[in-house]
Amino acid sequence: MSAREFGEAWALSQLSPGIHLVALAGLIGRRAAGWRGVIAAVAGMMIPAAAITVALTAAYEMIAASALARAALAGVAPVTGGMTIATAALLVRTSARHGRTHLAIDLAVCFASLVAAVFLGIPTLAAIGAGAAIGALALGREPPTSRESSVG
Amino acid sequence: MDALALFGVFLKASALSLGGLSSLPLLRGDLVAPGIATDDQVIQAIAIGRISTGPNGLYIVSLGYLVAGVVGATMALLAASLPPLVIVPITAAARRWLVATPVAGLVRGVALATAGLLAATGIGIVSATGTPSLWQLALAAIAAVLTYRGTIHPAIVIAIGAAAGLALGR
């Protein structure tokens, strides 16, 4: 696989739904060995990591009810909340466009979604649908500021 | 909730998200609001997903396990693996269409709306157990900055949170 092919696969994977790394693995797998390669690449990426995740979760479940684990959770909860907010900021950083006007419009879409969820109780699916419709109609004119992504 | 219905919930969240944690708002809405999962379980799943290997989006496997054991984890794994693969046949047939302006705009619009929803979910998690204390708000702010900068491994950030919880949360 050439650097150009890898770059193209990476860019296409960013358009896929779900976990982008899975899409990237699938595209690389197809390039390497067709549909068998897709299955091998995705299974190789997901199954060992999922097994480790299940093992960690099962181990945690054994101590989850203890007083120490409950106390630790009081600190882990705000940390995961903060991480989630940071992930939102990273998503904006990788998606928002160049230029003051375009950036202001993009931030307004993001903020409207936040307000709709927190204050108006708009269903999540409706907010995503509205974002998709607004995006298809009005947000496609300029490339994003960066094609890098750290949201996985 | 039976396995097939759980698979449907995870599949919907995965298919309508764009990478990593962006499935969280949909999953929280479909699992926590009806009482199938708790906010504590969501928090535990995110933390374990960040500590574990593999993509961030694998937190849903942990959540699946917490909700319905190995069957739940398996449903979550399948649901996380399938939607990204739609890009594989599409790229062969419609590569040019994928980079067209309306598609780029659609993806951007979904990403921006999801970012707003994620921020709302983050706020919801911080205040899930009632009004947060000052030290918890400070911890959330520190975690947000460290995660955004990406210079410290998430497991260390979570360990800091757990240590602070042990010291101040009792």
- Nearest residue of A to residue B123, measured between CA atoms: A81
Contacts of B68 (CB under 8 A, 6+ apart): B1, B3, B6, B75
How far apart are the CA of B108 and the nearest CA of chain A, in angstroms? 6
Domain ranges of chain A: 1-63, 66-152
Count of the separate structural domains present in chain B: 1
Would you call B113 and A87 a contact, using CB atoms and an 8 Å cutoff? no
- Nearest residue of B to residue A108, measured between CA atoms: B112
Phi, psi of A120 (to 5 degrees): -105, -10
Domain-embedded: residue B128: no
Read off the DSSP letter of residue B56.
Answer: G
Domain-embedded: residue B147: no
Domain-embedded: residue B29: yes
Domain-embedded: residue B123: no
> Which positions of chain B have pLDDT values less than 70?
92, 95-96, 99, 170
Which residues 43-72 in chain A show a CB within 8 A of chain B? 45-50, 52-54, 56-58, 60-61, 64, 67-68, 70-72
Span A37-73, pLDDT tens digits: 999 999 999 999 999 999 999 999 999 889 998 899 9
Count of A-B CB contacts under 8 Å = 398
Span A95-136, pLDDT tens digits: 888 888 888 998 999 999 999 988 888 888 899 999 999 988
Q: Which residues of A touch B87 (CB under 8 A)?
A: 12-13, 15-16, 23, 26-27
Whole-angstrom distance, CA of residue B94 vs CA of residue B99: 9
pLDDT at residue A143, as a whole number: 54
Query: Mutate which of A57, A107, A110, A150 to disrupt the B interface (most B C-beta within 10 Å)?
Result: A57
Domain-embedded: residue B132: no
Look at residue A24 and tell me whether its pLDDT is greater than 80.
yes
Domain-embedded: residue B10: yes
- Please give the residue range of the domain that contains residue B58: 3-92
What's the mean per-residue pLDDT of chain B? 89
ipTM value > 0.85: yes
pLDDT at residue B30, as a whole number: 92
Domain-embedded: residue B86: yes
Whole-angstrom distance, CA of residue A114 vs CA of residue A111: 5
pLDDT at residue B170, as a whole number: 66
- Nearest residue of A to residue B39, measured between CA atoms: A77
Domain-embedded: residue B33: yes
Q: Does B67 touch chain A (CB under 8 A)?
A: no
Look at residue A150 and tell me whether its pLDDT is greater than 50.
no
Would you call A17 and B136 a contact, using CB atoms and an 8 Å cutoff? no
Closest listed residue to residue A42, CA positions, set B88, B8, B60? B88
Phi, psi of A97 (to 5 degrees): -95, 170
pLDDT at residue A141, as a whole number: 76
Look at residue A78 and tell me whether its pLDDT is greater than 90.
yes
Span B79-116, pLDDT tens digits: 999 988 887 888 767 766 776 777 888 888 999 999 99
| Cα separations in angstroms, B51 against B55, B56, B145 | 11, 9, 18
